[in-house]
Amino acid sequence: MLVIALVAVVGAGAFAVLVSYRVKGSASGTAAAYFEAWRRGDVGGMARLVYRPPHDFAARHHGLTEELHVESVTLTPGRLRSTGEEAAEVPFAGVRRLTELGDWPFAGTLRLGVRDRAWKVLWAPETLHPLLKDGGTLELDEVDVSGAELVTSEGDKIPHDSYAESYLKALEPEFARVRHGWELVSKVPGQPARQLLVHRPEANVERTTLSRHVQAAAARALDGVEDSAVVVIRPSTGEILALADRLEDNYSAVRDVFPPGSVFKTITAAALLRNGLDPAAQVRCPGTYTIPFHRPFHNDGEVDRGLVSFADAYAYSCNTTFVEQATTRLTADQLRETADTWGFGRPITTGIGGSCGTMPDTDDPDMFGADAIGQGQVVATPLCMAAVAAAVQSGTWRSPRLLSEAEVRRIDGLPFKDVPMDAQVVEALRGMMAAVVDHGTAADMGLPAGVAGKTGTAEVEGEQSHAWFIGYRDDLAFCVFVRHGGSGRQAAVPIAERLLNGL
């Protein structure tokens, strides 16, 4: 039953119409009776006060109530005013309360006139609602609303221009739940439909592992640097704190692999350390080294450093040292097995997919030598190399993830189990990576205290080299990659400096 509250009554005595003594009733009395019947939901009583009501008078009233899911109507009549000797009108305001959309105010005019010697309501569709004039209709439509909002780990919105948009947009369908919204629409023949009210449910909110301030710092560090990416991981948990990706040509820092260059020397160093080579051991770093009966390898600029400690050979990124030591102390299988321990050769279940990298088998000494310095056949993703840096910091390789562990399992499947690293190897690598920043290839670049890392410059045939820099500071590990950026020191380290100093 439609409940109608009559807020005010027609001001009696405010206006009087002089008509023949034979005219039944008065304008004010008829108006008051009509509003009272409307208040009660007495459509039949309303119709008896109307001059020649249309045959569908009751159907129109009941239909509008049912169509719009009207719970109640509040009416506030104004003052009766004369519009002629036998004509009058009462302006009124009303509020319909709709179940799905709440209060919907409207205003109308009740017109009256003397017909058949009696005061009658001169009804038209716009008496019910002004928008029903000229064949207009009012429709309540159900609309499907699906959406998801991915936010930071703190529950904040993802920073503007985060360079993570493509990853987040691809994730949204995983969390979008279809919900029903409503809209009230006015339709008039010959005119475009007009939306009057709308209710859209809020999108489903899902937290990622992205840190608001780390993501913002990573994005701003990449401003102005095209074809570049920064991946930041929390070593203690594997959570991806920042994923800023400006790589072009549809390349992805999470899924696409590139020659890692000298940052792969971290893996080769791990294999040599595990094989017994001490960081303090004196090793040769000639400008050129030739694998016996095979091809020569050169340092950058063919710099000859003579005898240096193994730790300094890493810090100075001596190609010749690593080729000689790898080809004389290791087999290709041993290097590949070490790479696999550190994440290579396996998918990474981040919630958005991902891979690490590969080092294919080889029995060619030249290819093995090239692989040992991150050239040859070995390839890696920036995500993979960030995970390597994180494993050095924490002593455990953990599968990086962008979502909660439960959501990662639902979307990507079970992650690879955590892999504890050899404690002595990890301790030695920490010292060697610190030496890179202290006096090696990343020295004097403005990096804050406590940073350890490794630069990389990966040659690409016929094109400019890729620039890399991996590292960590406290419980934060990172990989900076600039595709065809040139030198790791010149192109990648400055991005890391802006990132770390921006935190």
- Which phi and psi (to 5°) does residue 88 adopt? -155, 170
Residues 6+ apart with CB under 8 A from 270: 338, 342, 421, 422, 425, 429
User: In tens digits, what is the pLDDT along the chain, a chain of 503 residues?
Assistant: 333 433 333 333 333 334 445 899 999 999 999 999 998 889 999 999 999 999 999 999 999 999 999 999 999 999 999 999 999 999 999 999 999 999 999 999 999 999 999 999 999 999 999 999 999 999 999 887 657 789 999 999 999 899 999 999 999 888 876 567 889 999 999 899 999 999 877 667 889 999 999 999 999 999 999 999 999 999 999 999 999 999 999 999 999 999 999 999 999 999 999 999 999 999 999 999 999 999 999 999 999 999 999 999 999 999 999 999 999 999 999 999 999 999 999 889 999 999 999 999 999 999 999 999 999 999 999 999 999 999 999 999 999 999 999 999 999 999 999 999 999 999 999 999 999 999 999 999 999 999 999 999 999 999 999 999 999 999 999 999 999 999 999 999 999 999 999 99
- Angle, alpha carbons 153-154-160 (nearest 5°): 85
Radius of gyration of the chain (CA): 39
CB contact at 8 A, 3 and 72: yes
Q: Give the alpha-carbon dihedral of 216, 221, 226, 230, to 10 degrees.
A: -70
Q: How far apart are CA 78 and CA 10, in angstroms?
A: 7
- Which phi and psi (to 5°) does residue 212 adopt? -55, -50
Tokens of 69: 């899911």
The HSE-up count of residue 415 (CA atoms within 13 Å, CB side) is 28
Q: How far apart are CA 493 and CA 503, in angstroms?
A: 16
Tokens of 360: 């294919």
- Angle, alpha carbons 226-370-385 (nearest 5°): 45
3-state secondary structure at position 347: strand
Tokens of 6: 């009559």
What are the CA-CA distances from residue 248 to residues 385, 480, 493 (Å)? 19, 15, 20
Q: How far apart are CA 234 and CA 387, in angstroms?
A: 9
3-state secondary structure at position 316: coil
Q: How far apart are CA 18 and CA 296, in angstroms?
A: 118
Burial 270-282 (b: 16+ CB within 10 A, else e): bbbbbbebebeee
